[in-house]
Structure 1
Amino acid sequence: MSCLEKMVAVLPSSMLDWPGKICSVIFIAGCNFRCPYCHNPELLEAGGIGDAIVWDDLAIYLSERKGWIDGVSITGGEPTIHDDLPHLCERLRDLGMEVKLDTNGSRPRLLAEMLARGLLDFVAMDLKTSLTRYPEVARRPVDPLSIGESIDAIIGSGVEHEFRCTMVPGLVGLEDLESLAERAADARVFVLQQFRSENTLDPAYSGARGYPEETLLEWAERLGRLVPTQVRGLVGTSR
C-alpha cells in the first residue's frame, strides 16, 4: 500500500525532531521491526491510528506554513517499507520543503536511491544494538549486512545525519556501543538517547528504569574517542 495512504498524523511544528530547525512531522504507519521498548506501538501496523491524511489537504497545509517551518520530518513506523517513499519526498520537494527522514536502516537500497537523487537533507538512523544482536531487539529476522550498508550509504552521501541509539538496559551495553561506534566511526555524530519507559510495545518495559545519567555521560566521553558522541534526553538538562 502507498505511503501516501499510510500518512496517519501530522505534528504542526517541532523544535526537537530536526537539530537546529523547526519542522512539521509526518507519521507513516507500518514497521518491519517490533522493538519491545517502542513508544509508538500504535504505528507498527499498517492500519495505523486513524484515517489516512489526504495529500491535497496536507499540501495546502504545508504551503501555508512556508516561512514558519524549515522543512518536514518523515517518521513512523518505518517509512522505508513503502516503495513509493521517494515519490512522497519528491512531492515535498515540489512544495519547496527540505526533507528529513527517520529510519531503522533495514532497506539500504531504497535509502541509497533517495540519497543519490538528492531527495533528503537530513537522515536520522536508529542503531538498535551491536549488529549481531539485532534480531534480539527487533524481534524479527534482520540482515546485519543491510544495516551496515545503510550506515555506509548515509556517511558516504555527505548529507547531514545522525546515528542514535536508545539506551535500554539489557538490550544495549558499552560493548555494543563500542562496536557501533567503530562501525560508524566516520559519522558526524552518534547520539545516546535516554530510554523512555512509557507506552511501550512490550508491557514488561513499561516503567523500567534506564541507565543512570552519569553512566551515559561517562560512556559518551569514552565513545567520543571513536566518533563524536552526544547524550540526549537527560532530565533537567538541555542535552
Structure 2
Amino acid sequence: MKQDSRAPSIQKITVAGAVWLAVLGAAPALAQVQAAGTGPVHERVQAARTDPQLEKKLLTAGRKVAAVCANCHGDKGHSSSELIPVLAGQNPDYLVEQARKYVDGRRRNVFMEGVLKALSVDETAGMAMFYAAQPADPQPGQSPALVEKGRQYFVKICVACHGADARGSAHMPRLAGQHPGYVLASLKHFSTKDGVRSSTEMETVVRGMTEADMKAVAAYVASLP
C-alpha cells in the first residue's frame, strides 16, 4: 500500500526532533482533542486484533520506529535511564493515547512532540503494538521494607484504577516493572501541576501523598512482574 503522502515518514523523525529542540520556548499549536479511545490510530490497532495480515504489517512498521526510539527507550522498550519510561509490555491503547497527547499538547516534551508528529497513522499504531508485545520485567534492587510500605499504600489507593497487578487497562498505564525514578517523577509532576503531566484524578490522589509515600509506591510497582 502506498504511504499517505501527507504523513511524514520515520526517516524525518531526526529532522523533526531537531527543529523542535531549536524552538524550545515556542508553544505547540493544539490539534482538535478527540475523545479517548477514538481516532484513526486507535481504529488501526483495533482492526489489527482481528486481521493477522494487518497486524503483521503494523508490527513491521512499529519495529522500524522502535529501532529509532531505542536511542532513548532502549532495545525493545527497556530503557536504561531511570527517567525514561519502560515501554515494554505497556497497554497499546494507552500508548496510542499518550502519543496523541504529545501531539495535541496535553503532554509536554518538546522532543517527543516533534518525533510523534513525524509519524504516520500506521507507524504510530505499529509502534504501540510492537512495544506492547515485548516482555516486561521487574526492576531489581528494591528495598523489601520500602516495597511492603508501597504495597500497603497501593492496595488502599491505587488498585481501583491500576488493577491489583498494576498492569492497568486500555486507559490506565501499566506500572508493573516501571522504573521507580520515572514513577516518582510522574507523581511529582501531578503534585506540582507543572503542566508536564495533567490528570484531574491523579492530581486528587497525590494531594495526600508525601514524598516518602511516592517513593514507596514507586518501589512497589517497580518490583512487580
Q: TM-score w.r.t. structure 1 length?
A: 0.28
Structure with the higher helix share, 1 or 2: 2
The higher-RCO structure (CA 8 Å, 6+ apart) is: 2
